[in-house]
Structure formats: C-alpha cells, structure tokens
Chains A and B, each alone.
Chain A
Amino acid sequence: MTSLGRGASVALTDLEKSYDRVAAVAGVSLDIRSGEFLTLLGPSGSGKTTTLMMIAGFETPTAGDIAIDGTSVVGMPPYRRNIGMVFQNYALFPHLTVEENIGFPLKQRGMPKPERAKLVGEALELVHLPGYGGRYPRQLSGGQQQRVALARAIVFKPRLLLMDEPLGALDKQLRENLQLEMRRLHADLGITFIYVTHDQEEALTMSDRIAVMNDGLVAQVGSPEDLYDRPSSRFVAAFIGESNFLPATVRGMEDDVVVAECEGAIVRAICPGRPASGDRVLLTTRPERLRFTDGAWSSSAPQNRMNVTVTEAVFAGERCRYMLQAADGTAMVLKEPSSAAIRRRAVGERTEIAWSVADTILV
C-alpha cells in the first residue's frame, strides 16, 4: 500500500445502476488517482451524474463496487463518507447566512465556535469573498453563490470533491473565470476532484484526465490531448471537438500506419489495431489540421493529400471555415487561421489539401 496523498483515490469496479431494469450506468470501471482532476464528460442520459451520485452515496449501486482509498464505501451513508460536493444550482441553505452555510459541515463535526469562525474566514478568503459572511444566499449573484458552495464543500478539508455541473447556470464570461479558479484551487488544495459536465470545452480546459461517457459506459479515458488527438471511437471523435469522417478501404500496413484508399487517393492513418486488407474503415481528422497546398506546401512530416472542391466559404473573424467536397462526394470541413496575407478561397474552386499522417486516426 502506498502512502496516502492529500487526495483520495477512487476505484470504480464494474459499477452498475438500473431503474426498473433500465440501465443508467451499465458497468463502469475507472481508477481515479490521488490528487487528480478527473472529469466525467458525456451527453445527458449518459450516466455521468448517476455515477457521481453513487460515489456521493445518494444512489445505491445495483452491482459493482466503489472503493475510496482502497476501502469499499458501498452501503456507507453519505454523511459518513467525508466527501465535499458542489451541486447544480448551488444548493445553499436559504435560511442560513453565508457564514452559517460554510460553517455547517464544521458544526456537524462538533467544532467549537471560535475555531469554526477562523476556518470559515479562511475559506471565504480562498474563494475571494471576504466580508460577505453576514449575507444571505439570495443577496448574492450566481457566481458568488457558486463560490460560497465551493467554500462550504472544502472547508472541512475533504480528500475528495465532487462537482455536478457547477457552472451550468452561469454566463460564458463568468464560467471561464471560475474554470480557471477551480484549476488554481485544485492545484492549491491537492485533493482529488471529480467533475461532471456535458461541456467539452470546460472538460478540456480543466481536467487532468477525462472519462467520456455514453449510454452508461465509459467510451474512452485519457488526457485532454489523448482524447482530442487520438479518439478511439467515432462517438468520442464527434463529441469532443469537430471531426471529419472519411470512409476508406484498407490496402495494407506499414509498421503502425495503415494504408487505405479513400476518395480515389491513398491515405495513411495511425491505427492501434491491425485491420485486414480490404476492410471498410472510417478515418477521422480535425478541421484545423487540414491545409490548402496550392500544389506546393510541403512538410518534413509524412502527409496525406487529396483533391477537393470548395463548396462554402465562411469568414468567422479569427478563422475562416471552408466546406469542401472530395472526389466522390464526402463533405469535409477545413479551418484556417485568418490573415490578410492569405488568399480567401472562392466557392467552386478546385484545389488540393494536405494534412499530417499523425493527425489521421482510424476509429
């Protein structure tokens, strides 16, 4: 057994939860490391919130196990788990002041008043709300309420903090500020964060690792870079960021690279498995990794090239977005950083595009 860090480790083993024989969580296994910022990302109904509620103790698993620091907590009531939790819409007690809200978990632990006041003060400092202790939640803005909820969830120094779409109700600007603040808080406290969201940008910005969930299962776990650059399935490629999908036929393998025929061109792609020659497969690539070559663009890295026709051109400020059509009709998107020095493409123009083999993934 390794020595315990400041954060708890959480192990989910074949976790299942069914309601009336309908599985909300259908067998989730996940190892969350001590001190990690892990995000459960997925569309609504993917089972991410149910998974979180089982870790918190508000839902009982139908099957499987949850272990915190190596000890199973299945059957342990939520008030004994010592886990901090931030809820959607904050769930601050409306009849208590900010101070009393933050002091609530300390009071439950029998801490005397003077000590409580000191810790509450420190927690308010930590979330940049000193002097707000005497107010009631309804007198605060949404962002301030969220900070109070955060302070209340960490004031008793839990080793694990659960967050259920905590920024969902806030506007974009505030959300971005609080995302950075949560990252900073995570680094300062060193405790384990499990964060639930359906917002992929939020997940990419904040997480050490992301578990993408779909239909009650974990579709893929990895760092934001892993998921973005090497999606393992069409679902992950489509859910995180924007992707082009190219149907192709496998023609052979060159070491770890698969050679496939696609739109009349030979395309090479990164491939974890070893598909057989003649297999029909799907290749994926990101729109911002495609370039117009104008017949000349070259790079030392191995590339794929393809002839396309521009079908739509949209100027979107920081970048230009082109809809392209390949030889046999597959639609693709190309995003190019905008610059007055770069020639804008006209609709109907026939041209060639290229992209790195490293940016082409077989899913």
Chain B
Amino acid sequence: MNLVQAIAGRVLPTTVVGLILLFLIFPIVVVMVVSFSSATYLTFPPPAFDLRWYKAYFGNEDWLRPTWLSIWVAAAVVILSTLLGTLAALGIARLPPALRVVASGLILSPLIVPVIVVAIGIYYAFSRYGLVGTPVALVLAHTCLAVPFVVTSVSASLSGIDPRLQQASLSLGATPIGTFFQVTLPLIRPGVLVGALFAFITSFDELVVSLFLSGSGAVTLPRRMWDDLRFAIDPTIAAVSTLTIVLTVALMGCAHLLRKRAT
C-alpha cells in the first residue's frame, strides 16, 4: 500500500516530467554533441571530438557576414521596439478599460496572426517601395513582431506600481515629465529591459519573415542556415546552432534574473 502510494505520489510524476524534459531537450543535445564531431557528415554518435566545425564557422566570411547583419538588425529592432513598446504601454495604461482591450488586442495581433500571413503581407507592402532585400525592411518587420513582447512586459511592470507613488511625486513638486523620469521609468526599468531582451531574441531567431524579405542583399543568420540545410549539409550548421542556442539561453537567463530582482 505504502509502496503504491509512494510510486503514485512521487516516483510516477518525477518520471513523467523527466521523460517530457528529455523529449524536449534531446534534439538540442544531439545537435550540440554533433557540433563537436570530427566527421565531415552529420552522424550520431560522432566518431571523435574535434573543434573543426567551429573553426570552419569563424573562418568563413559567408557565415560571419550574415551573423553580423543579424546582430545589427536585432540591435536596431531592440532600440525601435523598446521605445515604441514602452510608449505604447504607457498610453494603454491611461486608456479607459474598454479601449484598453481593443488597443492591446491590436498591438498583440502580429502574435495571433500566423507568421506566414504576416510575412506575405509585409512582402507585398514592402516590395511596392523597393524595400525587399534591404536591412531596413528586416528592421521594420522584426520591430512589428517584437513590439508586442515589449508592451506585454512593460504593461506588467506598470500595473505593479502603486499609483500613489506618482501622486506623491506630483505633490512634492515634480512635474508630470519629471515624475516620469524620476519615478515611473526607474520603477518599470526591469520590465523595459526584459522586453528589450525578448525583442533581441525575436529578431535574432526570426526565419519566416526573413525568408521573404532578405532577398540576396540582406541575408540574416537564420536565412543563411536555412540555405545551408537545403544545399550543402555539413556539421558547421550544428556549430552555428549551438552558438545561437547558447546566446539565446544566456539572454533568457538575464531576463529571468531581471524579473526576479524586480519582485
């Protein structure tokens, strides 16, 4: 009886959760292991340990150029979407409740509509202005996708602020603008930073919209990986994947720490 209870109460849930986690992580682990392979083709388990595919990545302009483009695009997206998203969140908070629902629904719509639909729409709109194949197109499109994350994160921070703090600031002689910079902004800063990190990741990892907009002139890292997979497959792709995974996990870790410190 006790054994049955112990199995049902602890062993079973632990095993199930463990299996689910394994299911989720296993492909990532395989990719990471393969990236250290000495073989010239994708095989698991790898015959021997070697860093040659990392050297191949860092020694190849065809990989580094898209990497730098992705970083620059993501940085621009961070600046634009953080600015727009923070202002939008502040504006939404001042709307009457009924309008608030409509406004946040509209802002979140890029997350609700299938990405492929967004991508096609943006492609047609931008091709009319000759933007396809330029980094500007990527920055604008990725900003659309990243703004919802910033708005969500900043709105959550804003709703946690005691409205009396702003009243206190005004009563002490600070103007509304002074109150924003001295009281509101410092208090929502963790939310703004978390939003900025998510904006970076959103842009850096984005493939679908990039497939349509990169053309041949603005190839991002995910687009370069996609091309590589389609034409010539070698373990370099595993090395690149591992680096992107490490970067993303590090940024998510930062976001988590920021959130924890904010509470």
Q: Contact: B162 with A79, CB < 8 Å?
A: no
Q: Which of B169-227 contact A (CB under 8 A)?
A: 169-176, 178, 182-183, 186-187
Contacts of B171 in A (CB 8 A): 56-57, 78-79, 81, 83-85, 153
- The minimal Cβ–Cβ distance linking B256 to chain A, given in whole angstroms, is 21
Residues of B within 8 A of A84 (CB): 171
Do B173 and A89 touch (CB < 8 A)?
no
Q: A87-B167, A93-B165 are in contact. Are A152 and B186 (CB under 8 A)?
A: no
How many whole Å from A302's CB to the nearest CB in chain B? Answer: 52
Question: Is the CB of B260 closer than 8 A to any CB of chain A?
Answer: no
- For residue B250, CB closer than 8 A to chain A, the reply is no
Shortest Cβ gap from B205 to chain A (Å): 33
The answer for the CA separation of A41 and B169 in the assembled complex, in Å, is: 26
Interface check A105, CB cutoff 8 A: yes
Cβ of B168 < 8 Å from any Cβ of A? yes
Majority-rule SS of B interface residues: helix
Q: Is the CB of B173 within 8 A of A79?
A: yes
Contact of B165 among A91, A108, A109 (CB under 8 A): A91
Decide if A244 is an interface residue (CB 8 Å cutoff): no
The reply to whether B167 and A104 contact each other, CB–CB distance below 8 Å, is: no
Question: Binary interface profile of B, 138-172, with partner A (CB < 8 Å = 1, else 0)?
Answer: 00000000000000000000000010110111111
Q: How far does the Cβ of A270 sit from chain B's closest Cβ, in whole Å?
A: 43
A window 92-116: CB within 8 A of B:
92-95, 104-105, 108-109
* Residue A315 CB within 8 A of the other chain: no
**Is A29's CB within 8 Å of the partner chain B?**
no
> Which residue of A58, A89, A95, A156 is within 8 Å of B172 (Cβ)?
A156
Is A88 in contact with chain B by the CB < 8 A criterion?
A: yes
Contact A91 B175 (CB under 8 A): no
Query: Are A108's CB and B172's CB within 8 A?
Result: yes
Within 8 A of A (CB), among B204-258: none
User: When chains A and B are docked, how far (Å) is the Cα of A88 from the Cα of B170?
Assistant: 16
A82 at the interface (CB under 8 A from B): yes
Cα(A91)–Cα(B186), bound, Å: 15
Decide: A94 and B187 in contact? CB cutoff 8 A.
yes
Partner of B168, one of A57, A81, A91, A95: A91
* Interchain CB contact under 8 A, A77 and B186: no
Query: With contacts A89-B162, A93-B183 known, is A152 near B170, CB below 8 A?
Result: no
A78-B183 in contact (CB<8A): no
Contact A104 B170 (CB under 8 A): no
Known contacts A93-B183, A95-B187; A105/B173 CB under 8 A: yes
B-chain residues with CB within 8 Å of residue A92 when the two chains form the complex: 168
Complex partner residue of B170 from A79, A89, A109, A156, CB under 8 angstroms: A79
Contact call B172/A104, Cβ cutoff below 8 A: yes
**A-side contacts of B178, CB under 8 Å:** 108
Q: How far is the CB of A101 from chain B (nearest CB, A)?
A: 9
Please state if B173 and A58 are interface contacts (CB–CB under 8 Å).
no
Q: Is the CB of A156 within 8 A of B164?
A: no
Asked, given contacts A79-B174, A152-B172, whether A88 binds B165 with beta carbons under 8 Å apart, the answer is no
Closest A residue to B166 by beta carbon equals A91
Distance to closest chain A CB from B166 (angstroms): 9
Q: Tell me which residues across on chain B come within 8 A of A104, comparing CB atoms.
A: 169, 172, 174, 182
User: In the bound complex, what is the Cα–Cα distance between A40 and B187 (angstroms)?
Assistant: 33
Q: How far is the CB of A138 from chain B (nearest CB, A)?
A: 12
Task: Decide: B173 and A91 in contact? CB cutoff 8 A.
Answer: no
Q: Which residues of A contact B168 (CB under 8 A)?
A: 85, 87, 91-93
Could you mark each residue 68-84 of chain A with 1 if its beta carbon is under 8 Å from any beta carbon of chain B, else 0? 00000000011101111
Minimum CB–CB distance from A24 to chain B (whole Å) comes to: 17
Q: How far is the CA of A45 from the CA of B167 in the complex (A)?
A: 21
A79 and B175 in contact, given A93-B183, A95-B186, A95-B187 (Cβ under 8 angstroms): yes
**B162's contact among A58, A82, A91, A109, by CB below 8 Å, is which?**
A91
A109-B186 contact given A87-B164, A93-B165, CB 8 Å threshold: no
Of all chain A residues, the one with the shortest Cβ separation from B178 is: A108
CB <8 Å contact, A82 and B173: yes
For B173, list chain A residues within 8 Å (CB).
Answer: 79, 82, 105, 108-109, 156
Sampled A-B contacts (9; CB under 8 Å): A78-B171, A79-B176, A89-B162, A91-B164, A91-B167, A94-B187, A95-B186, A104-B182, A153-B171
Q: 6 tightest CB-CB pairs across the interface, nearest first?
A: A105-B172, A108-B173, A91-B168, A85-B171, A91-B164, A78-B170
Given A82-B173, A153-B171, 14 new contacts (CB under 8 A)? A57-B171, A79-B171, A79-B174, A79-B176, A83-B171, A84-B171, A85-B167, A87-B167, A87-B168, A89-B164, A91-B164, A94-B187, A95-B186, A153-B172
